[in-house]
A and B are shown apart, each in its own frame.
Chain A
Amino acid sequence: MADQGKETARNDKEFAVVGKSRPRLDAKDKVTGALKYIADMECREALHGKVLRSPYPHALIKKIDTSKAEALPGVAAVVTAKDIPGRNGWGAIIPDQPVVCGDKVRFVGDAVALVAAVDEKTAIKALGLIKVDYEQLPAVFSPVDALKSDAPRIHESGNLITTSRVEKGDTEQGFRDADVVLERTFVVPFLEHAYLEPDVALAIPGSDGTMTVMAPMQAPFTTRRNVAPVLGLPINRVRCVVTPVGGGFGGKEDSPIDTCVRAAVLAWKTGKPVRIEYTREEIMLSTCKRHPMIIRCKFGAKKDGTFTAMEGTIYNEQGAYASLGPVLPPAGGVHAHAVVMLAGPYEIPNVKVEGYLVYTNHPYGGAMRGFGAPQSNFAHESLVDELADLLKMDPYELRLKNAFKLGSKTATGQVIDQSIGLRETIEETKRLFDWAGKRKPTPDPTQAQSADKRTGYGMAVGWYRTSIGASGDGCGVNLHLLEDGSVIIYQGCVEMGQGMHTGIAQIAAEALGTALEDVRVLAPDTDSAPESGPTVGSRSLTLMGNAILLAVQPIKESLMLSASELLDTSVERLVARERFIFDPDNPGDRLALKEAARRCMVMGRRMIGQGWYTPPKATLDPKTGQGNPYFVYTYATQMAEVEVDMRTGEVTMNRIAAAFDIGKAINPMLLEGQIDGGIGMGLGYALLEKVILDQGVIQNLDFKDYLIPTSMDVPKIDAKLLEMHNIHGPYGAKGIGEMPNIPTPAAVNNAIANAIGARLYELPIDSESVWRAIQGLARK
């Protein structure tokens, strides 16, 4: 592996654009306020759409009377279930969520009617004039209760959506071989994405029977394949236009389907453009969340720390609708991913994990940065840390002893055969943090209580896939070279702040030998962009980058042939770099790339390229959970320093250090931004955030009650990038979007334990729970 690192280092000197910290392409537009998000766009003729929502978590709809609302001046349409022109259901994987509920509602916030009116005030007034008679049904609010035989049935198919498992070796034997066995149960809550740009959609009916929907979407193609059947249209008559995305984090994979199908139905019925905007409270109430889970986790180890067996059970709460929870074969969906990840990035000969994905009458779980991995990571990394204490080992040593290395076999039997830098991230973070110099063994609780304030040091490691693990994870692009040497890229992956468009422009510029400034990346418009898949799963830079490298090939051939004619040099001798084509042995005699481009045009040579990249096939046997679910992984280690006020339980973050094996940093500055933001988000999960529910009703619908980290909550972050070349990635790259927020909660939890001498098993770790743990009240 060290050799591969060197390989990258050597190549770096040869790169002109890739590997450079270039400012993002949309930076000026954003910093001047010129960029128009959808809420900033004018559409004067648009009607205002509003959604009437259920106040009950589970109820039959006996009768809806819309007559008074329809009679209100200014109301253009009132839509109930009977008015849906096509399929009354949407969903990223299973279309189980009604556009408008017909027979019953399944969570507080479910849609029961839609209104379109000339202005927002009238639309809101009309909602109040709709009379709905409900018959309340018994509701169920926990996945464990929902699996009981007498539980209320939420969907006709039953409350258990799916079971996933991973089974390797013989865990009974493995635990017999262990000297120490530790089992714990972890509980994590619903989490809100809290993207700052609220959800807005604009639906515009075309005179030719088409429907255009515009929204900040992470998954325009998923939205398209939902809007079309809801309207009863073939997919080619629906156009999805992605407007600038003010933060997504997985949430805008789902919420724009919600807003777009509803706006489209209203636009269809009225024949006019309809705009739907959700308030912050409506977003909290009705859009998807991070799945809450109850995770039982058990590890066995020899005295020297060698892991012998691991078992786990996940009760994964889906809430009212399937969203991105279910398994999309072979290994797509939040649920399969959480199950696959629970054994951690460790070599363990015997593994058995079972996970149940269950409907309840709560809001529903969807994709949120990490897609099941943050939940699983909190469990295995908190447990491994406690196991280290039991073994009287440094948690760093225990992790290093069992961590994946080249040739390791995962819990699913996958051989890690390349791009594996987990151990290097452990060693590097240890140096960066001065772990050896700082951390003291965890004290016993009485010893800890003697101080007013105590400092603690904790760590966690993590792994995360690139791509979605579903069989159909292809990614397409059309790339055009124009006659002045500029480049335009028609593609379907979404810029939502992560910097992906800048990254793929760097890849295109490097591959073509032109300048970053000459490349224009279009935001997805499904009428012109080829299918590229959703912008999720830390997949887009890697998959789209590969597609671009394929698309560039025929164009480069044309360019080089034209240049060889103009330079009177053979094609084999020529290279293209930063807008010029030349023979490296005779660099003074160079040709501007734009001259070669012009000659391509004049000679009628091919100037367009299409790339289609399919990643190595995902395999996972549904019965055994054995196979290769994802084709490459990113690895990370994080270390946290906290100070705990022993009298109040208040936790102050002092510092985070981290190292990441990211294959190749295409743009190090933007990559660091992903790390900083991910760790910030992980701190929210660790210490602050929880959607509080009481009888199915969310108690904290806004930012005054649902707290996300502010600038005062995020400490200084020191991060180091390690580049273990990924043979399947463009210039060796692999995914980074999700990895940084995954190990943070466990690192913080372990640091708190190291400070107070007691362990916590539930997120978020608020002052009260720390205080209770200090007082010995944690486990009743």
Chain B
Amino acid sequence: MAKKSVTFKVNGKEVSVDVAPGEMLVDVLREKLGLTGTKVGCREGECGVCSIILNGKLIASCLVPVMKADHSTILTIEGLEQNGEMHLIQKKFIEDGAIQCGFCTPAMVLAGKALLDENPHPTREEIQLAISGILCRCTGYQKIIKAIDSASQAGEMR
């Protein structure tokens, strides 16, 4: 199959990569760009641990053919730290004990960011809904919801 090139902005940087048709965005991020903070749990969009922010929206990157991401803007977990400082949501995940095995953590943090970017002061139900596409088997979701709420309370989102 003919190789093609796609260009997108990943974590603030313009990137061009050669891809094969049919390749999924998650594999390009992980294998070609080394962004392994995006995890793979099921490859069919059910578990959500591969979630990233594509053009401002949270999406399961295992369902996105990489061609569809041409000229898009992508944020992965690696793009959240600024000048070595963690994002407020990341800090709250640590302080509130929202992390256990860590496998869903990058996706959950990005889900929190996507939510707070759109809705800086969500209700508990809105937070529950915003993370409902990502499975977590460790936390019962309680402290993840709390951490996103804490970040909302602390305000000054970047």
Contacts and interface: CB of A to CB of B under 8 A. Distances in A.
Given A498-B100, A673-B97, A33 B37 contact: yes
Interface in A1-37: 21, 23-24, 26-37
Given A32-B80, A39-B40, A672 B90 contact: no
A197 to B, nearest CB: 5
B158 to A, nearest CB: 15
Name the prevailing secondary structure of the A interface residues: loop
A245 to B, nearest CB: 6
B103 A680 contact: no
A35 B77 CA distance: 12
Contacts of A198: 40-41
Given A24-B97, A31-B93, A33-B36, A703 B47 contact: yes
A474 interface: no
A465 B101 CA distance: 23
B52 to A, nearest CB: 11
Interface residues of B, number: 53
B145 A711 contact: yes
Nearest to A36: B36
B152 interface: no
B46 A30 contact: no
Contact of B46 (A33, A244, A678, A702): A702
Contacts of A249: 137
Nearest to A279: B43
Interface in A208-262: 244-249
B15 interface: no
B157 interface: no
Interface string B94-105: 111101111111
Interface in B115-150: 127-129, 131-145
B14 to A, nearest CB: 21
Interface string A711-738: 1101011000000000000000000000
Nearest to B94: A27
Given A31-B93, A33-B78, A679-B140, A246 B103 contact: yes
Q: Most chain-A Cβ atoms within 10 A of its Cβ — which of B76, B99, B105?
A: B99
Contact of B41 (A193, A280, A678): A280
Interface residues of A, number: 56
A18 to B, nearest CB: 17
Contacts of A497: 100-102, 138
A362 B39 CA distance: 31
A708 interface: yes
B23 interface: no
Contact of A496 (B81, B86, B101, B142): B101
B42 interface: yes
Nearest to B102: A30
Contacts of B41: 196-198, 280
A702 B139 CA distance: 21
Contact of B39 (A37, A499, A672): A37
A33 B104 CA distance: 10
Contacts of B35: 33
Contacts of A195: 101, 103, 137
Interface of B: 30, 35-44, 46-47, 49, 76-78, 80-81, 86, 90, 93-97, 99-106, 109, 127-129, 131-145
Given A197-B101, A280-B42, 9 more contacts: A31-B93, A31-B109, A32-B90, A33-B38, A37-B103, A280-B43, A680-B142, A702-B44, A714-B141
Q: Which 8 A-B pairs have the closest CB atoms?
A: A33-B37, A680-B140, A497-B101, A30-B102, A246-B103, A497-B100, A33-B77, A703-B46
18 contacts: A28-B86, A31-B86, A31-B106, A32-B77, A193-B137, A196-B104, A196-B135, A198-B40, A246-B103, A247-B101, A280-B41, A676-B140, A679-B140, A703-B44, A703-B47, A708-B137, A711-B131, A711-B136
Interface of A: 21, 23-24, 26-37, 39-40, 193-198, 244-249, 279-280, 496-499, 669-670, 672-673, 676-681, 702-704, 708-712, 714, 716-717
